[in-house]
Structure 1
Amino acid sequence: MELTNYNGLWALGFIPVLILIHSLRHRSVPRQTTTLFIWEQVLKQESGSVSLGSWIKNLSMLIQILIIILFSLGLAKPVWFTKKGLPQDHILVLDISASMKTTLESGNRFDHARTAAIGIIESLPHSDRAMILSAGTTPFIEQSFSSDRSALKQVLRKLKASDVPGDMEKAVHLAQSFSVAERMARIHVITDGAGYDLPSLTRSDDRIHPVIVPGPEHQPSRNVGITRFEFRKQKGSASGFEALVRVRNYMTDPAVFKLQIFSDRQSILDQKIGLDAGEHRTLIYRFNNISPSVLKAQVTVRDDFDVDNTVWAVFNYPPKLRVYLVSKGGFFINQILGVYPHLNLTVSESLPASSWDEVVSRNDIVILDRVAPQGPLNGSFLLIDSLPKEIPVTQAGIVDTPKILGWNSLSPIANSLRHTQFKINTAKKVRLDKQVTPVLASDHSPLIYTFHDDRVKAVIMGFDLENSDLPLRVAFPVLIKNMIQWLAPEKQPFAFTSLAAGQPFAMELSPHETRDDSVQVRLPSNRWERFRVSGSRFEFNPTHTVGLYKVKTSGQRTQFSVNLFNENESDITIRRGNQVNHHQDSGTGLIHPVYRKEGMDRKKSAKPIWPLVLAMALILIGFEFMLWLQRIKGR
């Protein structure tokens, strides 16, 4: 029996009160009378008998105490568990993180995990169901609850370990959410237990049964890995680079290995390094006269984990940004744009309607300085004191000497401009639609705002630069730089693109590139895949394999690298506290779980017995009522 509501036991507090009430009952005072000798003779004759009245009085108090105990027990909602062969749910949580790729004498850790999972499926009773979850960076339901053994084993055979760091805690919490009270599911966590504290995760839930592979009797794992690899340009040098490499020895013995760095397949470093047991070292190298697109670093060592032995760094050098400026004597905007070396600037005083479509399609950014557009907007635009009809902004007059209130800190255009102030003589007074985002606000009207939809990406300055002192401020180059980066983020002068495994890759697409409605990605396996896009942003999520990725659109080509860079995942040593009881099949060498005897019991059925307890209390109340009637009649 088990109580499900311990708050109901508060009713036991009435027992002392009941005893106190009975102790305070009125008692008669004995007095001598002339007929006392007659009663003394009667009492002597009945001295051998028991007084029923005294028993009835004491029995009444005992019954009332028993009634309180039964009512308190009923409020505690007791249930009685009976063992029955009822169908049970099982949730298999398989660790697919990078450490499961650790090689063993036969296969790798995940091969053993898959075999253990198939063994669990085959041992289930026919009426039981099972669900399969994979535990990577984000847990995923590989197979919902099913009693089809063939389908479950087929899913397991197709499942593979990835190169991403695992989040077992998140996967276990997801599994627990599927284990409802009516069908208490058994959660089988099949993992190597490396990189996290498994006992603390399973200690508070008896439903969780860990299966550790490959087992504690396996020889200690060996690994030396690169945990960080970064490059940057040297200051003041067009072709000089600095490289930062961090290496770590996870073994219990010293290790000597070779570190090599390649620039576009050409070796630029070959060095022998020695590390003590558990030592990590950060190395910095300087290289001159190189312009790499792909840099690769690798350690040459015989270990059990090769995911972190090779890492990549990718440099993207996009072509110059094509900017077309239409301005009638805009001295400041012309001068500031000429400073940026990665801009291919074309300046014109006018843009006729006959050339509008061709100019817009050939340039990345079109700047209109106090000039009205001569055709439909389709692309990226910087509009200075110009308000086309396509922008959902309504002009409501002119504002003289507006007072700047502040910048929108959430807008990337306002980066490093939080405290910037300047003077404006006159500006447009406007009302913005919900699609328009204010960047700079004044006491009467927004002064700078942005608009972005599937066709147009625009920054609007609602005042004339020549009518302000903004071009004389230090913030002016910063503002123009932020605008260019927001309008054409895919074409920056230098980009170092390296992602951690599992981290999504995102890139901005120009309106011209979205016309194709697709982006092609080449995976590290050299297989090309096509993805449909909608809008101006492409996000690639399946970065679960380390290596080089190439991205191709109708207007640009770029590449990025994916590396593990996770010191916990590179630590493939199975912690001593994470080991559980298991045995090894002498024929296959595979590890199978051994649970406690009580842990393998079938699911118990809970039957509430509080109605029976309350019924007994009601019977006692009836019996107490009969005793009370008897006492009344006796009087």
Structure 2
Amino acid sequence: MNLLTPSFLWAFLALIPLGAVYFMKTKPRKRVTNALFLWQKILEEKSSHFAFKKMRNLWSLLLMLLVFALAAFSLTNPQWGEKQQTHDLLIIIDTSVSMRATQDGQSRFDIARDKVADWLKSVEGGSRVAIASIDKDLKYHCNLSSNTHELQAALKQLEPSQFPLSPQSLSELSMLEKSSDGTRGCRIILLSDLANPTDQMPDQIELVSIGEPTSDNIGITSVDMAPLPGQRAKLFFTLYSNAEEETELELELIEKSSGRIAKLITVNIPAKETLSEVIEIDDAQAGLWVLELRHDDSFTEDNRVVLGLSQPKAIGVSIAAANQYFYSRCINAFSAADNLLEILPEGKAEVHITESTALEKQGATLIFAPQEASPYWISATDEIEHVVVEKVVKNHPLTQHLKIDNLTFSGARNLTAPEGAIVILQDISGSPLLYEISDAGQKVVVANFQPSRDNFYLSPWFPIMVHNAARYLAGREADLPSVVRNGSTVRVPSQTADVIQHFHATDPENNIEVELPTMHSLQSIGGYSYDTPSQSWFTGAAVLSEAESGAQAGTTKHLTHGQPSSGWPIAWWVLLAAAAIALTEEALYHRRKVG
């Protein structure tokens, strides 16, 4: 046994005055009496019990000395085992979705919280404890404190989330490891079900595994639903099995609005393996759909996925150029493939393609071969003899799938982009070759070269450039995904700042008006719908994590400083014993008084 605060041993000196009081004798006082024989009889009776009374008083003294000794001993904060260096303690509880898995009627999260609550009962003297949680990010709920009530209150507020454990949050743990090398030292303990491999954990993070190994979970880890021509769709999904043997199971694809079962799928998934399937669905209407796995296991959150099927409308494109034939071929090619682009008159089109200059107030425009005076460029002069392309903005949607080194940019002119323009490609001389500007809320893209030169019309890069520009100008550079991992951010496609209505599938009354384009973070598992003046978009949020579906507890990682003590501290039990002895002595004292 070790004493964490041995300086309180000086409290034992209080036993000296207590013992001194017992041995103090009072000087008898003389009184005059006229009946001495009566007092003699009383004194004789008392003298016969003197030895017993003296022994009883001595026993009372010993009990009180023991009470004081126990109280003084409790102040030294005794502990069992080897003496350890005093550390601040940061306790991090994994609140990711896999901690909702149940074992023996109790979730893994509840097991972790109960373990921490037991630790907090015996916070060592001189130590401070902080409480944090981790899922898609690291959150602190109580800063370093030695107040047990404050720590317990913060612990009770924790609940398991619907978010997977993200690599970004694990990187935050690495930062904690680097910052825990102070003079006082900070011990960091993570309680988790090992949803991520232990080799991702920093060395100084002590890991306590929660729950028992399981072998019954099968979950959906990936899914997508894409529209096909003729009101059809293609469904892709991946399952992960943690079972010890091959399992046959069924999946249902349900149209959420009507409850109609569109497809019943039977699969056989090997033990400890993944299984992927691609299935075509007939009569697939745009809206929210549910893919549900018929399988009872300890982790149910990965058995059901709400996903969206959107039917994007074709982007209307008008052409005002000398060589309309080549532009029309590009548009018609994409129209026949996936109905993405279509040629419309200028007044009905969303995107306009022109050469030389732009017509007034025609909206989102792609301009090739700038020549005449225009508010979209300054001083277009002579042609550049030898163009050397430099990429200014990397990974821009306008240059997606383009091999810049294969583009000659013949006919490019020396010009200056207007103030506020975003230059994407430029010549080594500084003349912009591809840039965008904003005009009254509408985007305008300028391609500074002659597409008729060097048979660029016939190259494969011409339709790709037109395709990229049309989607970008229409706000459709990326369609809304069918489903994403919960906690992800999506961008609802929109050309202008339209007003939409967003509602969560499980709470249709919760309508929130927002302005687009917007980046919307999905914070709950379920389905989402976005209505714009042009069309409706649908998506869903789900677990979609093999690490979460395959999470199973293992053995506890080696704890550098041993298991934190649990239960009530020794000092509390010592004080309880002292109180019990004091109450016993009090009861005996009153009994003696009564007689």
Common fold: TM-score over 0.5: yes
The equivalent residue for 1:61 is none
Partners of 1:579 and 1:550 lie apart in 2 by 48
Partners of 1:193 and 1:482 lie apart in 2 by 43
The residue type paired with residue 347 of structure 1 is P
Change over 3 Å in CA distance of 1:334–1:232 after alignment to 2 = closer
Give the secondary-structure state (helix, strand or coil) at the position aligned to 1:431.
coil
How far is the alpha carbon of 1:325 from its aligned partner?
A: 4.4
The equivalent residue for 2:473 is 487
The equivalent residue for 1:626 is none
Which of 204, 217, 222 is the aligned partner of 1:223? 217
Whether the 8 Å contact between 1:93 and 1:172 is mirrored in structure 2 is: no
The equivalent residue for 1:364 is 350
Partners of 1:272 and 1:321 lie apart in 2 by 39
Which of 477, 497, 508 is the aligned partner of 1:512? 497
Partners of 2:447 and 2:564 lie apart in 1 by 70
Task: Tell me whether 1:317 sits opposite 2:311 in the alignment.
Answer: yes
How far is the alpha carbon of 1:160 from its aligned partner?
A: 2.2
How far is the alpha carbon of 1:101 from its aligned partner?
A: 0.7
Give the secondary-structure state (helix, strand or coil) at the position aligned to 2:518.
strand
Which of 296, 302, 305 is the aligned partner of 1:308? 302
The equivalent residue for 2:250 is 258
Matches within 5 A, 1:154-553: 154-166=153-165, 167=167, 169-177=170-178, 179-197=180-198, 201=201, 204-205=203-204, 208-214=205-211, 216=212, 220=214, 222-232=216-226, 238-252=230-244, 255-264=247-256, 265-275=259-269, 277-326=271-320, 330-334=324-328, 336-339=330-333, 340=335, 341-343=339-341, 345-347=343-345, 364-375=350-361, 380-385=364-369, 391=376, 393-399=377-383, 402-406=385-389, 408=391, 410-418=395-403, 419-421=405-407, 424=410, 426-432=411-417, 435-439=421-425, 441=427, 445-451=431-437, 455-463=441-449, 465=451, 469-490=455-476, 496-513=481-498, 520=502, 522=504, 526=508, 528=510, 530=512, 537-541=517-521, 543-552=522-531
Change over 3 Å in CA distance of 1:89–1:299 after alignment to 2 = same
Change over 3 Å in CA distance of 1:176–1:372 after alignment to 2 = closer
Change over 3 Å in CA distance of 1:189–1:473 after alignment to 2 = closer
Q: TM-score under structure 2 normalisation?
A: 0.66
Whether the 8 Å contact between 1:327 and 1:371 is mirrored in structure 2 is: no
Unaligned segments of structure 1, at least 5 residues: 1-81, 349-358, 582-592, 603-635
Partners of 1:519 and 1:173 lie apart in 2 by 41
The residue type paired with residue 431 of structure 1 is T
How far is the alpha carbon of 1:567 from its aligned partner?
A: 1.9
The equivalent residue for 1:97 is 96
Please, what is the CA RMSD of the aligned residues? 4.2
How far is the alpha carbon of 1:111 from its aligned partner?
A: 2.0
Whether the 8 Å contact between 2:209 and 2:554 is mirrored in structure 1 is: no
Whether the 8 Å contact between 2:480 and 2:493 is mirrored in structure 1 is: no
Partners of 1:334 and 1:128 lie apart in 2 by 75
Matches within 5 A, 1:38-187: 89-124=88-123, 128-147=127-146, 149-166=148-165, 167=167, 169-177=170-178, 179-187=180-188
Change over 3 Å in CA distance of 1:266–1:442 after alignment to 2 = farther
Give the secondary-structure state (helix, strand or coil) at the position aligned to 2:379.
strand
Partners of 1:496 and 1:165 lie apart in 2 by 19
Change over 3 Å in CA distance of 1:258–1:468 after alignment to 2 = closer
Give the secondary-structure state (helix, strand or coil) at the position aligned to 2:538.
strand
Partners of 1:525 and 1:89 lie apart in 2 by 44
How far is the alpha carbon of 1:573 from its aligned partner?
A: 2.4
**Identity among equivalent pairs (%):** 16
Change over 3 Å in CA distance of 1:527–1:176 after alignment to 2 = farther
1:575-612 alpha-carbon deviations (Å, 9 max, x no partner) = 2465989xxxxxxxxxxx95479xx999xxxxxxxxxx
The equivalent residue for 1:44 is none
Partners of 1:346 and 1:176 lie apart in 2 by 60
Change over 3 Å in CA distance of 1:100–1:153 after alignment to 2 = same
Change over 3 Å in CA distance of 1:270–1:194 after alignment to 2 = same
Partners of 1:578 and 1:209 lie apart in 2 by 7
How far is the alpha carbon of 1:272 from its aligned partner?
A: 4.3
Partners of 1:295 and 1:388 lie apart in 2 by 53
Whether the 8 Å contact between 1:224 and 1:301 is mirrored in structure 2 is: yes
Give the secondary-structure state (helix, strand or coil) at the position aligned to 1:395.
coil
Partners of 1:482 and 1:213 lie apart in 2 by 49
Change over 3 Å in CA distance of 1:271–1:323 after alignment to 2 = closer
1:406-431 alpha-carbon deviations (Å, 9 max, x no partner) = 4746433233331434674x543212
Partners of 1:96 and 1:388 lie apart in 2 by 61
Give the secondary-structure state (helix, strand or coil) at the position aligned to 2:415.
strand
Change over 3 Å in CA distance of 1:439–1:523 after alignment to 2 = farther
Equivalent residue pairs, number: 474
Change over 3 Å in CA distance of 1:241–1:551 after alignment to 2 = closer
Change over 3 Å in CA distance of 1:553–1:94 after alignment to 2 = farther
Whether the 8 Å contact between 2:190 and 2:208 is mirrored in structure 1 is: yes
Whether the 8 Å contact between 2:98 and 2:551 is mirrored in structure 1 is: yes
Partners of 2:513 and 2:84 lie apart in 1 by 52
Partners of 2:326 and 2:177 lie apart in 1 by 63
Partners of 2:469 and 2:145 lie apart in 1 by 54
The residue type paired with residue 477 of structure 1 is P
Partners of 2:255 and 2:280 lie apart in 1 by 13
Partners of 2:537 and 2:111 lie apart in 1 by 39
Partners of 1:291 and 1:407 lie apart in 2 by 46
Partners of 2:250 and 2:316 lie apart in 1 by 45
Change over 3 Å in CA distance of 1:443–1:487 after alignment to 2 = same
1:284-342 alpha-carbon deviations (Å, 9 max, x no partner) = 43334534544432221221001111124422223332444455785543554455344
The residue type paired with residue 384 of structure 1 is F
How far is the alpha carbon of 1:138 from its aligned partner?
A: 2.5
Give the secondary-structure state (helix, strand or coil) at the position aligned to 1:497.
coil
Whether the 8 Å contact between 1:404 and 1:421 is mirrored in structure 2 is: no
Give the secondary-structure state (helix, strand or coil) at the position aligned to 1:247.
strand
Whether the 8 Å contact between 2:231 and 2:283 is mirrored in structure 1 is: yes
Whether the 8 Å contact between 2:123 and 2:146 is mirrored in structure 1 is: no
Farther-moved stretch of structure 1 (569-578 vs 319-328): 319-328
Change over 3 Å in CA distance of 1:225–1:505 after alignment to 2 = same
The residue type paired with residue 498 of structure 1 is V
Whether the 8 Å contact between 2:252 and 2:265 is mirrored in structure 1 is: yes
1:17-61 alpha-carbon deviations (Å, 9 max, x no partner) = xxxxxxxxxxxxxxxxxxxxxxxxxxxxxxxxxxxxxxxxxxxxx
How far is the alpha carbon of 1:112 from its aligned partner?
A: 2.3
The residue type paired with residue 445 of structure 2 is V
Partners of 1:276 and 1:372 lie apart in 2 by 61
Give the secondary-structure state (helix, strand or coil) at the position aligned to 2:482.
strand
Q: TM-score under structure 1 normalisation?
A: 0.63
Whether the 8 Å contact between 1:524 and 1:548 is mirrored in structure 2 is: yes
1:451-496 alpha-carbon deviations (Å, 9 max, x no partner) = 358934221133555677432433322211111122124387x764
1:185-224 alpha-carbon deviations (Å, 9 max, x no partner) = 23232222344227x847x43xx5544333x5xx845312
Unaligned segments of structure 2, at least 5 residues: 1-81, 572-595
Whether the 8 Å contact between 2:318 and 2:344 is mirrored in structure 1 is: yes
